[in-house]
Amino acid sequence: MKRDEVLTILATHREQLEKLGVKSLSLRELQRMIDPIITGKSSE
């Protein structure tokens, strides 16, 4: 999955994410969380 695709999905589901309490996360923080998923590298 490409980064742009993930960001598009996030933007599309922003309302649902905010309802789930993700409102406190900035887009930059979300990108930081998602980058490892896209690149296939896990920090865990």
The model's pLDDT over 8-26, given as tens digits with 9 standing for 90+, comes to 887 887 777 777 776 666 7
Query: How much is the pTM?
Result: 0.36
Confidence check: pLDDT of 43 > 60: no
* pLDDT level of residue 27 (50, 70, 90 thresholds): confident
Are the C-beta atoms of residues 38 and 3 closer than 8 Å to each other?
A: yes
Helix (H) or strand (E) holding 4: helix 3-12
Q: What is the pLDDT of residue 25?
A: 65
For 2, the token pair is 């490409």
